[in-house]
Structure 1
Amino acid sequence: MNNDKGILLESGTNELEIVEFRIGENFFGINVAKVREIIPFMKTIRIPNSHPCIKGIFKPRDLVITAVDLPKYLNLSDEDADAGARYIISHFNKTTVGFLVHEVVGIHRISWENVEKPDETIFSGQEGIATGIVKMPEKLVVVLDFEKILVDISPNTGIQMSEVSKMGPRVRSEKPILIAEDSKMLTHILLEALTTAGYTSVTITSNGKEAWEALEAYRENEKLPLEEKVALVITDIEMPQMDGHSLTKKIKTDKVLSKLPVIIFSSLIDEQMHQKGVALGADDQITKPEIGRLVSSIDRLIL
């Protein structure tokens, strides 16, 4: 699995692999890039006064892992763990967690173009936990916002606004920033953080495709210089329609837009992902939830 993961986004192919899993009668997906391994169900040691959705801790090898009861979090099924149950051991936001699921169905390689945005009437607002919908034969697979799930259960793993507050008095800047981020929760927090940091001209798009369409419009509009329409792009990596690596590649290979600073802000950045970002021309890459580093990078690149 890790070897395949090293191929997919190397040149901004706009592809991903998802691990499909079942909870009750529902099917969900998680990006393979977030998955370390999949192991059979094993008993856990319960921790007093922990979040109700924390099943406990266990130690499959040399690392103590927190187990999250995903069926309980989703309020979907009281089905007991049986021989088919698995823990999906994931790593993102610098945290390793085991998510309990009833069954792992398989791994699928797909294009982000085939991942639809969730219906706003169902998954809108900060409480939405679906980042994409994948149509499979005879069923739909919902790609979950695991970052939001983890922050709901353990708030200290998310973006801490105190990092921005500690930076002291800020100079107000109206230089326009374009953000591509599919998580409703993170979009809200990013907007709040950048406003607190003094950046008052921020445009939000929910995926790389929407961001690219906005940039194309900026490029074609000759009434204003490009820097007055957009001075910097911040992008997540995994997003429906077009991922952040593909967006970065499009920007950096465009004759007009190539000088535009691009910061990749993602929970997926490890050594492999960092190398891919460098190859694609990203000006900086910052691991969520390091919001203080993100603000400092923006300061350096556009002030």
Structure 2
Amino acid sequence: MAQVRDEKRILLESGTNEVEILEFYLGGQSYGVNVSKVLQIISYESEKFTRTPDADPAMPGVLLWRGRTIPFVDLYAAMHVHTRVDVDRPIALVTEFNNLICSFLTDGVNRIHRIGWDRIDQLDAYMSQFSAHFTGSVHVDDKDILLVDFEYLVASFFPETKLDSEKQLILPEDVTPEDRRTKRIVLAEDSSFIRHTILTILERAGYAQVAPFENGLLASEHLMKIKKQAQAEDKPITDFVNLVISDIEMPQLDGLTLCRRLKEDPVYGSTPVIIFSSLINEQMSIKCKEVGADAFITKPQMAELVGTLDKLLFAI
């Protein structure tokens, strides 16, 4: 089947505020996942599946892929889809995110849609209270595609992939919490839970002056207001903001586009930008470099994030 992520090419020019969504089916409903998370689309072969004793129905075993065994997730059980459709040739999506390779069973795939992040709608409060399995939706070809939060689905099985504000971190000692309190940071992260967790951990380390925003567009608008204020008061931008941390996948404006815009701005060009995302891999690292990111870190490596903040802000 298709090799989705070709290491020799980049599907989209970096920083165009576009995303490619792979549409797949489950129980008659269309769902989507960012192509950047998909390594390969393969036919599910039962002889390559090994059931694990006493396993959770959502992760019943492992799948043999390229000579190695990888976790196998049954999306019907994981997403509580009760109407199972029998298909002749089920499809497995082999994914990589948070430094973890997994496979997900689906009924089949349709096509890849190239869309702008501004077309992706966040789930309203009513929908969100019923399911944390989705990050948003997009209307394409007269149908609604729900975007699945694969990270959420596997977090209970692999706690090391989940941000945890209660986890004790060994933080760098080159910089004191008092030093960190002098720095002003802008954070763009669409997940309210992850945003709160990052804020909690950064504050514990001493980075208490962090302005959080739920997407790249709001962060960008805030930064432009700060720029006008700095110019009106004839002050350097560093008096108002010292660094930007951004996720990649966000509605309205993605992190790569936000970074590119800042690096092309004559005022913000030297402001450090850290990309903090579950999507960091060899391919995405190239994109981060293309848009001028000063660093890119895989979630949930919070100790590395704090250490990188120290290096960029205090030149240690």
Which runs of no fewer than 5 residues in structure 2 stay unpaired? Answer: none
Tell me: CA distance 1:51–1:33, structure 2 relative to 1, closer, same or farther (3 Å): same
CA distance in 2, matches of 1:200, 1:163: 18
Q: CA deviation at 1:84?
A: 3.8
2:295 maps to a residue whose letter is D
Q: CA deviation at 1:199?
A: 1.1
Bigger Rg, structure 1 or 2: 2
Of 17-26 and 158-167, more deviation after overlay is shown by 158-167
The correspondence for 1:41, drawn from 39, 44, 49, is 44
CA distance in 1, matches of 2:312, 2:157: 34
Structure-to-structure mapping, 1:61-210, within 5 angstroms: 61-79=66-84, 81-123=86-128, 128-159=132-163, 165-167=169-171, 170-172=176-178, 173-210=181-218
Tell me: CA distance 1:130–1:5, structure 2 relative to 1, closer, same or farther (3 Å): farther
Q: CA RMSD in A?
A: 2.4
Q: CA deviation at 1:212?
A: 0.8
Tell me: CA distance 1:214–1:49, structure 2 relative to 1, closer, same or farther (3 Å): farther
1:198 maps to a residue whose letter is G
Could you report, residue by residue, the CA deviation over 1:14-69 in whole angstroms, capped at 9, with x for unpaired residues?
11111111221322110111001111223322213433410211213312011111
Match of 1:238 in 2: 249
1:213 aligns with 2:221: yes
CA distance in 2, matches of 1:60, 1:233: 38
Q: CA deviation at 1:233?
A: 0.6
Q: CA deviation at 1:293?
A: 0.8
Match of 1:259 in 2: 270
Tell me: CA distance 1:25–1:82, structure 2 relative to 1, closer, same or farther (3 Å): closer
Could you report, residue by residue, the CA deviation over 1:122-180 in whole angstroms, capped at 9, with x for unpaired residues?
2269x633222111122111112222222133212223557763227751414221111
Helix, strand or coil at the partner of 1:51: coil
Tell me: CA distance 1:271–1:245, structure 2 relative to 1, closer, same or farther (3 Å): same
Q: CA deviation at 1:4?
A: 9.5
CA distance in 1, matches of 2:250, 2:312: 24
Q: CA deviation at 1:214?
A: 1.2
Of 206-215 and 114-123, more deviation after overlay is shown by 114-123
Q: CA deviation at 1:300?
A: 1.4
CA distance in 2, matches of 1:5, 1:239: 26
Tell me: CA distance 1:148–1:188, structure 2 relative to 1, closer, same or farther (3 Å): farther
Could you report, residue by residue, the CA deviation over 1:175-205 in whole angstroms, capped at 9, with x for unpaired residues?
2211111223322221222122111122221
CA distance in 2, matches of 1:189, 1:211: 18
1:259 maps to a residue whose letter is S
Match of 2:21 in 1: 18
Could you report, residue by residue, the CA deviation over 1:226-271 in whole angstroms, capped at 9, with x for unpaired residues?
3343221111112211111110000000111112110011122222
